[in-house]
């Protein structure tokens, strides 16, 4: 087993000469030329914030310092003038960037990073021959680094950082969306903006290296030091942008379809949701080519398949009358994409590599009433092109609907995609228990990588012999607590909440996938499935006030919705290392069941008291418990001090349902909650049309205080009826925007 080094050991062996002097913010006097990767270079250090500095090593050619190319990931290219820069071999020296001290020596080229509160945080050593960067692996988990790949803690793995469905073990781990943002849970993080490269975490010293020596420079690293996880996430948002707010309906249930039989089938299936009173907001349609009969005529086409959509505008209007949103699958066939939708497309020549031209192909269908898009594939696109596509699906719809938030579900992207409210799903995974288990830590790492809107093909895309009603239900329960709540896959009728009791799995499409299988016929008449699906559909919609408030928090702070326990319990090593449970917002702990036939589930409860969501039993934290479970049970726990708002059951997000908002207080600690609301559709919230009801719970006084958040205002209806619950007691109140207190 490799020895793991702590901060105090990083500096061992350094000479006394490292107790250097302060370097002025201009080029130091070089005693000889200084080279990295065979080129003369200038080293620059720039202060970004109190917690973040930028380390850049730039090539020099003909006396001019090179520039750093843009891949679109950063919110801005310049972060001000460097506080230090030098071009030659010098004595060891010290640079101060706010509260961070960087000690530099050049034999080898080493940057030792210290903070006043934590001492030595990390040490970066740059190989003069290759430009590779070595750093201490440490004795605490390394997290983030995008979607997919070996889970959970990245230590011990080699990361090729290959994007797409061929990246790493697609069947169980899903598609790979690599983002070079690495979090050291001991109190640091770094975003390697340039170059693109690989990570080797297999030793005491980890290594980042460009994929090709010719691309080793420029080296551009943003390094963050902070003990508070929230600060680390905020710094990443500072660099790559805050998440945009998606339309509220996109947080509801989304039902996906594959091979379509007829117009009647399409309309009947939508009608069944409403007749059965199973909540649903979006109907998604795959394209022909990916299945024998989809919404369009062929792969990449924007022409409707007249056999099943003979009158698309009429069908879309019917969907809208029943309060469904329609989302269409789209494929980009080019290997590069550039520009923006505002560049204009020449009528004389269609350029499929130009975002403006490609978006124009969507607009005729969009004008018919299409509500969102499902851009598939894109694996060959480079990082900049992937972001260009993310941006295109955010800005393109706003050309024709400027005050309507767009929706797009992507398979690919890159750092910064959150600025375009991009949803992401994990690709063509297999229906196995191992896949479900692996996707819990996958969700956490994806969220820590700045991608808040994420989910899976519920049930797994490729059916196997393991695809049973039990696996589907456990996956459905997990999906209800992913930001993207969507069913999709082959044998697609088994993805319908009622599909497991009809005897019809749908069209059989498994021939080109190894290990694929049709579920056993004995599984296809199971009356348990639909009522359990109903339970979690209704719970998802009841929790929408809580969820939407968490989405708003994410958009302004950078804190994700699906949260690894490290984010709130960084000083608890057991919590930090826990990879099979997560927090849903701040206060609800989710422990998905991922073992076949499980009768119980081990759950770690961090310090403090917790309440079982289903029984309201109060439990002491700081320990692992065993929770007995039935098939319908997803273990959920609520933190003492939590304030959890629940709305009424709805069949779709916009349904007007009479009844008060239920606000449950879980006593045992002080707590607070900002209940956020806007119209869920437009950008009017940017102009102040939003409501924030700040709730504060004083546990010792047993008093709930409520007031309007600064810069917010009451939205219609101007009187909000609420039921305040604590224990077995309920109080009915009316909030009209004035500060008030409720004694409990």
For 452-463, give the DSSP string.
Answer: -SEE--BT-SB-
Q: How far is CA 436 from its chain centroid?
A: 17
Please check the confidence at residue 380 and state whether its pLDDT lies above 60: yes
- pLDDT mean over 516-525: 91
Pairing of strands 600-605, 588-590: unpaired
Residue 27 confidence (pLDDT) = 45
Instruction: Cite the beta strand spans of 430-494 per DSSP E.
Output: 454-455, 485-487
- pLDDT mean over 18-44: 64
Cis before 698? omega within 30:
no
Please, are residues 502 and 524 in contact by the beta-carbon 8 Å criterion? yes
**Residue pLDDT, tens place only, 596-611:** 999 999 999 999 999 9
41 phi and psi, to 5 degrees?
-135, 160
The model carries a pTM of: 0.94
**Nearest-angstrom CA–CA distance, 103 and 100:** 10
Q: Which residues pair with 624 in a beta bridge?
A: 604
Question: Which has more pLDDT, 28 or 70?
Answer: 70
Residue 89 confidence (pLDDT) = 65
Residue 661 confidence (pLDDT) = 96
610 phi and psi, to 5 degrees?
-135, 155
Residues with Cβ within 8 Å of 12's Cβ and at least 6 positions away in sequence, in order, are: none
Q: Among 112-116, 554-558, 740-744, which range has the highest average pLDDT? A: 554-558
- Largest Cα–Cα distance in the chain? 81
> pLDDT-derived band of residue 639, with 50, 70 and 90 as boundaries?
very high
Integer CA distances (angstroms), 621 to 82, 162, 607, in order: 47, 40, 5
Query: What H or E segment, with its residue span, contains residue 397?
Result: helix 383-400
**Residue pLDDT, tens place only, 611-636:** 999 999 999 999 999 999 999 999 99
83-94 CB burial, b ≥16 within 10 A, e <16: bbbbbbebebbb
Report the Cα–Cα distance between both ends of the chain, in Å, rounded: 55
What 3-state DSSP class applies to 320?
A: helix
Share of the chain above pLDDT 90, in %: 88
What 3-state DSSP class applies to 272?
A: helix
Q: How far is CA 81 from its chain centroid?
A: 32
Of 513, 598, 590, 507, the C-alpha closest to 547 is 590
- pLDDT mean over 450-461: 98
Mean pLDDT taken over the chain: 93
Please check the confidence at residue 222 and state whether its pLDDT lies above 70: yes
**Residue pLDDT, tens place only, 65-116:** 999 999 999 999 999 999 999 887 666 789 999 989 999 998 899 999 999 8
> pLDDT-derived band of residue 308, with 50, 70 and 90 as boundaries?
very high
**Residue pLDDT, tens place only, 232-256:** 999 999 999 999 999 999 999 999 9
What 3-state DSSP class applies to 656?
A: coil
**Residue pLDDT, tens place only, 656-684:** 998 899 999 999 999 999 999 999 999 99
- pLDDT mean over 301-313: 97
**Nearest-angstrom CA–CA distance, 317 and 314:** 5
Read off the DSSP letter of residue 317.
H
Residue 16 confidence (pLDDT) = 30
Residue 332 confidence (pLDDT) = 81
- pLDDT mean over 559-575: 98
Integer CA distances (angstroms), 502 to 266, 467, 518, 579, in order: 17, 16, 15, 36
- Residue ranges of domains in the chain, CATH in brackets: 7-240 (2.60.40.1760), 248-550 (3.20.20.80), 658-743 (2.60.40.1180)
Residue 675 confidence (pLDDT) = 98
Please check the confidence at residue 31 and state whether its pLDDT lies above 60: no
> pLDDT-derived band of residue 735, with 50, 70 and 90 as boundaries?
very high
Residues with Cβ within 8 Å of 410's Cβ and at least 6 positions away in sequence, in order, are: 375, 378, 389, 390, 393, 417, 422, 423, 424, 425
Residues with Cβ within 8 Å of 630's Cβ and at least 6 positions away in sequence, in order, are: none
> pLDDT-derived band of residue 334, with 50, 70 and 90 as boundaries?
confident
């Amino acid at each position: 087993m490799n020895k793991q080094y702590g901060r105090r050991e990083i500096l061992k062996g350094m000479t006394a000469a490292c107790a250097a002097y302060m370097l002025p913010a201009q080029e130091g006097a070089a005693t000889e030329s200084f080279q990295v990767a065979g080129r003369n270079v200038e080293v620059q250090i720039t202060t970004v914030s109190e917690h973040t500095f930028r380390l850049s090593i730039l090539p020099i050619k003909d006396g001019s310092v090179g520039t750093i190319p843009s891949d679109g990931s950063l919110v801005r290219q310049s972060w001000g003038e460097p506080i230090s820069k030098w071009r030659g071999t010098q004595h060891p020296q010290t640079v101060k960037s706010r509260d961070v001290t960087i000690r530099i020596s050049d034999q080898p080229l080493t940057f030792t990073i210290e903070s006043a509160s934590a001492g030595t945080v990390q040490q970066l050593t740059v190989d003069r021959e290759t430009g590779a960067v070595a750093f201490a692996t440490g004795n605490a988990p390394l997290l983030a680094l995008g979607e997919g790949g070996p889970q959970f803690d990245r230590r011990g793995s080699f990361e090729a950082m290959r994007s797409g469905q061929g990246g790493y073990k697609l069947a169980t781990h899903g598609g790979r969306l690599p983002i070079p943002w690495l979090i050291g849970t001991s109190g640091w993080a770094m975003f390697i903006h340039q170059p693109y490269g690989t990570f080797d975490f297999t030793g005491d010293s980890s290594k980042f290296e460009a994929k090709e020596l010719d691309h080793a420079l420029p080296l551009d690293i943003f390094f963050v030091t902070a003990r508070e996880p929230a600060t680390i996430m905020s710094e990443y948002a500072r660099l790559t942008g805050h998440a945009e707010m998606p339309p509220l309906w996109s947080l509801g249930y989304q039902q996906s379809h594959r091979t379509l039989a007829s117009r009647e089938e399409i309309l009947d299936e939508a009608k069944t949701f409403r007749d059965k009173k199973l909540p649903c907001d979006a109907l998604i349609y795959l394209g022909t080519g990916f299945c024998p009969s989809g919404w369009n005529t062929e792969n990449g086409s924007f022409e409707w398949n007249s056999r099943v959509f003979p009158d698309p505008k009429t069908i879309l209007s019917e969907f809208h009358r029943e309060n469904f949103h329609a989302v269409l699958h789209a494929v980009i066939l080019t290997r590069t994409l550039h520009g923006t939708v505002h560049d204009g497309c020449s009528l004389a020549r269609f350029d499929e590599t130009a975002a403006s031209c490609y978006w124009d192909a969507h607009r005729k269908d969009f004008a018919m009433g299409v509500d969102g898009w499902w851009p598939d594939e894109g694996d060959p696109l480079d990082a900049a092109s992937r972001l260009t596509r993310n941006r295109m699906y955010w800005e393109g719809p706003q050309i024709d609907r400027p005050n309507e938030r767009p929706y797009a579900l992507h398979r690919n992207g890159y750092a910064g995609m959150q600025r375009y409210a991009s949803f992401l799903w994990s690709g063509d995974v297999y229906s196995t228990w191992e896949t479900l288990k692996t996707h819990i830590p996958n969700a956490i790492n994806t969220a820590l990588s700045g991608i808040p809107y994420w989910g899976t093909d519920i049930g797994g895309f490729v059916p196997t012999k393991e695809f049973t009603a039990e696996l589907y239900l456990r996956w459905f329960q997990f999906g209800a607590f992913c930001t993207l709540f969507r069913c999709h896959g082959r044998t697609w009728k088994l993805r319908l909440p009622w599909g497991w009791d009809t005897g019809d799995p749908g069209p059989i499409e498994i021939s080109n996938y190894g290990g694929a299988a049709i579920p056993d016929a004995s599984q296809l008449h199971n009356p348990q499935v639909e009522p359990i699906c109903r339970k979690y559909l209704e719970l998802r919609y009841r929790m929408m006030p809580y969820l939407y408030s968490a989405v708003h928090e994410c958009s302004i702070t950078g804190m994700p919705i699906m949260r690894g326990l490290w984010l709130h319990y960084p000083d608890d090593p057991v919590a930090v290392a826990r990879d099979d449970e997560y927090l849903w917002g701040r206060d609800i702990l989710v422990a998905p069941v991922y073992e076949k036939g499980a009768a119980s589930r081990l759950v770690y409860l961090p310090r403090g008291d917790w309440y079982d969501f289903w029984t309201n039993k109060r439990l002491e934290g700081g320990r692992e418990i065993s929770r007995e479970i039935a098939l319908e049970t997803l273990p959920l726990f609520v933190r003492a001090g939590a304030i959890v708002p629940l709305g009424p059951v709805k069949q779709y997000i916009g349904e007007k349902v009479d009844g008060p908002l239920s606000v449950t207080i879980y006593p045992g600690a002080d707590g607070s909650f900002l209940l956020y609301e806007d119209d869920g559709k437009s950008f009017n919230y940017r102009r102040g049309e939003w409501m924030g009801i700040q709730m504060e719970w004083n546990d010792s006084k047993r008093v709930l205080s409520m007031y309007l958040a600064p810069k917010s205002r009451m939205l219609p209806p101007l009187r909000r009826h609420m039921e305040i619950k604590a224990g077995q007691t309920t109080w009915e109140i009316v909030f009209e925007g004035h500060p008030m207190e409720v004694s409990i």
